Chain A
Amino acid sequence: MLKGLGDTVKREIARLGSRRVYLWGILLVPLLVAFFLVDLMSTGLPTKVPTAIVDLDNSPMSRNLTMSLGSSELINLTDHVGSYHEAMQLVKSGKIYGFFMIPHDFEEQALAGRTPTLTYYSNMTYFVPGTLAFKGFKTMAVLSSGAIVETSMSSKGISDNKAETLLQPVVIDTHPLGNPWTNYSIYLSNSFIPGALELMIFIMTCFAVCEELKRGTSPQWLATARGSLTKALIGKLLPQTVIFTILGWFLDMVLFKYLHFPCGHLGNMILAMPMFVIACQSFAVIICSILPNLRLALSISCLTGILAFSIAGFSFPVENMYGSIGIFSYILPVRWYFLIYIDQALNGIDIYFSRYYYIAFIIFLLAAVAIAPRLRKRCLNPVYVP
């Protein structure tokens, strides 16, 4: 009974060792991508956005403002330019991501109560630096107007204490749950690394299964499994399941233990990994069963694997996508893994709330079991279509 399975596993391990592409696709690529993402974003937030100041006033007040702007932790004043036009030129050549403009006679008008206007420009073609520049500018503009109000109020006999509350009568304290530092690595590494893992599982599963069809070795493969397609598939994919799972656990350890990214229930994440790997393999088996051809199966798995990064809602919320598009995010295993990550690691809530996500993984497996028998006929008569 188990004989066919054991033989197939042995045969597969020999195959994995015989070709460098397996080592590359199963181990090196996921590790490289993970290392790349984690190292790239190791500082957490790309602060010190290059920006410029256009000071048309040149008064003590405007110089003071420039100085406080320069000491902001978000921005880095790289240029002092004399006109809007010059600053715009710097934006267009990509040297700065925004600039702050202090108008003529700023000090005079502010003290006379004639309400001068501070303007600031943020280049939103690059979201993150644009947003950070905007944030830095806005804070400075609000603070500086606050400082002037405070002076003018105390000159009118309002106590400093009272003036301060009048400046900001209502304060909305935001508490970002789980990621109070708005660390980009926590947010991006935790979604893009599983995404890369999914992509490589898709590719390597399709490669391993359909390669047999291309080379015409599939009858031999079936024969090793004593003619049972189930055993043949399990035997073929089990070694990869084990390697990918261990790799996934290793990456979990790197993220949650070495980098100390928030993780409420590590045990539940450990549980999710083998289920995620098997769900991805099942997805790939479904593709292979529908399109039993190496090139087509790989094409489809790559197209979906790459689209997954966008459609699984890592950055743009699925609820805000068009309904007919958003629905596709749920056919991808990584969407469910991402939801589990949010619940179990980032927010650390009870596993009860994630129960359906775990069940979804099992449904992928069941779907694969239902459709895989189609492969059998093709395996017996392998035809290579380039």
Chain B
Amino acid sequence: MLKRIKNWILDLARVMRRELTLSLTDIGVLLFFVFLPLCYPIVYTLIYNPEIATNIPVAVVDDCRSTQSRELVRMTDATQSMNVIGYASNMGEAREWLKSKDCYAIMHIPEDYSRNLGRGQQAHVEFYSDMSLLLRYRAMLLSLTNIQLETGAEIRTESLSPLGIVGESMSGSPVDNVSFMLGDTEQGFASFIIPGIIILILQQSMLLGITMMGGTSRDRKRLHGGRDPLSIDTSASASVLGRMLAYVFIYLPLTIYVLHFVPTFFSLPHIGSPLQYFPFVLPMLVATAFMGISLQILVKEREMSFPVVVFTSIVFLFLSGLTWPRYAMSWIWKGIGDLIPAVWGMEGFIRINSNNATLYDNSHCYWMLWALVAFYFMTAVWTTRNMRNR
């Protein structure tokens, strides 16, 4: 009995060593295991690093041409998000500018703008926005709301003080309100999306590499009459565990780089403690390794890993709830998402990294990850047995 255990452990070590040599000598696998986690986070952050949409060109049609209307235009121009490119003589001209993408929005100040203000009536301004990108619209909308509140407060104070109603507050309102943004305090796009993306990169690169190794092994099998000369004959469990250890071993330094150094390089939100997020991601790496071994059954040749695995990145990105929150998903998509290690990994890591949550706060995600480890271990053993018997 003891001898069998000893042999099993020895086999496991042999599998691990063989797998390490195989992956570290295969340039195609190295591209996934090393190049992808090293470069992709940098490339992605560089794309999104400007963080916010600024100086969006806006055209103004001012039919009022008064001090007040010019004041409004100046305020618009002074916002971070908008940049007034010029006055169009009428809506027709402004629309032409919009069509040729010289501007993305039109502000139309009607003739009666200042008259209404003077009479103490509500003055309306029309703002037409292009909707091709929600980020642009959102940035402009936020600034416009502020302008509206600011102008409103000024006018209110002006017209109320002669009536003897003063001292309500600086903003001319009896109740102040203060908004706090948590996590991504600057509301930057990179700060929002990169903490999630880097977890997905870890999972997807690992899946691609492992499935490619599986396909290569099958190519060898085909060449050598049904047996891969480089595989080690041992029990399925030792084989699965040995390979998992090899992959996780390769990924440990990369995980430190991706999760700690990448956010630091670009000063993205990074307030979580490494003692919280490294233990948290560990089961994700293990579950991903087992998941990759299970997926090998679908990859019948080396290059087949591309058509089988690559597109899932888009699906997993959406399942993670980064763009469309998970609470608004139907049970079926939520259920499928539950089976993906990176979905839990992203949820927990984002909260630890950006909200300074602890492992304890995320115990649900953490235990789900260990449940996935168990689940994918079983599927990995099953597929390994199944592939051998063929």
Interface residues in chain A, defined as those with a beta carbon under 8 Å from any beta carbon in chain B: 21, 24-25, 29, 33, 36-37, 39-41, 43, 46-50, 89, 91-94, 97-98, 110, 113, 115-131, 134, 137-138, 141-142, 144-146, 148-149, 152-153, 156, 158, 162, 164-179, 182, 184, 187-188, 192, 195-196, 199-200, 203-204, 207, 211, 214, 294-295, 298-299, 302, 305-307, 309-311, 313-317, 320-322, 325, 342-343, 346-347, 349-350, 353, 386
- A117 B178 Cβ-Cβ under 8 A: yes
A173 to B204, CA, bound (A): 44
Q: Does B77 lie at the interface of the complex (its beta carbon under 8 Å from any beta carbon of A)?
A: no
Could you write out 28 A-B pairs with CB less than 8 Å apart?
Answer: A33-B311, A40-B318, A40-B324, A41-B324, A46-B327, A92-B351, A113-B174, A118-B175, A123-B355, A124-B192, A126-B350, A129-B327, A145-B174, A162-B120, A171-B124, A172-B126, A174-B144, A175-B129, A178-B131, A182-B134, A200-B311, A295-B303, A298-B306, A306-B313, A307-B47, A322-B46, A325-B46, A353-B99
- A309 B314 Cβ-Cβ under 8 A: yes
B314 surroundings in chain A (CB, below 8 A)? 33, 192, 195-196, 199, 306, 309
- B128 A187 Cβ-Cβ under 8 A: no
Of the residues A36, A50, A305, contact of B315 by C-beta under 8 Å: A36
Other than A130-B183, A172-B126, A174-B127, give 19 A-B pairs with Cβ distance below 8 A: A40-B324, A117-B176, A121-B180, A126-B322, A129-B327, A130-B182, A131-B138, A166-B160, A169-B152, A170-B125, A172-B124, A188-B323, A195-B314, A299-B28, A306-B313, A316-B189, A317-B133, A322-B46, A325-B46
With A128-B324, A131-B138 as given contacts, are A122 and B179 in contact (CB-CB < 8 Å)? Answer: yes
A178 surroundings in chain B (CB, below 8 A)? 130-131
Q: Does B310 lie at the interface of the complex (its beta carbon under 8 Å from any beta carbon of A)?
A: yes
Q: How many inter-chain contacts with C-beta < 8 Å in the A-B complex?
A: 329
- B325 A302 Cβ-Cβ under 8 A: no
Of residues 281 through 315 on chain B, the ones whose CB sits less than 8 Å from some CB of chain A are: 302-304, 306-308, 310-311, 313-315
A361 to B51, CA, bound (A): 30
B311 surroundings in chain A (CB, below 8 A)? 29, 33, 196, 199-200
With A182-B137, A386-B28 as given contacts, are A171 and B177 in contact (CB-CB < 8 Å)? Answer: no
With A120-B180, A307-B43 as given contacts, are A169 and B302 in contact (CB-CB < 8 Å)? Answer: no
Q: Per-position contact with A for B154-198: 1 when CB-CB < 8 Å, else 0?
A: 011001100111011100011111111111110101001101000
A298 surroundings in chain B (CB, below 8 A)? 303, 306
B329 surroundings in chain A (CB, below 8 A)? 40
- A149 B185 Cβ-Cβ under 8 A: no
With A33-B315, A122-B181, A177-B131 as given contacts, are A116 and B120 in contact (CB-CB < 8 Å)? Answer: no
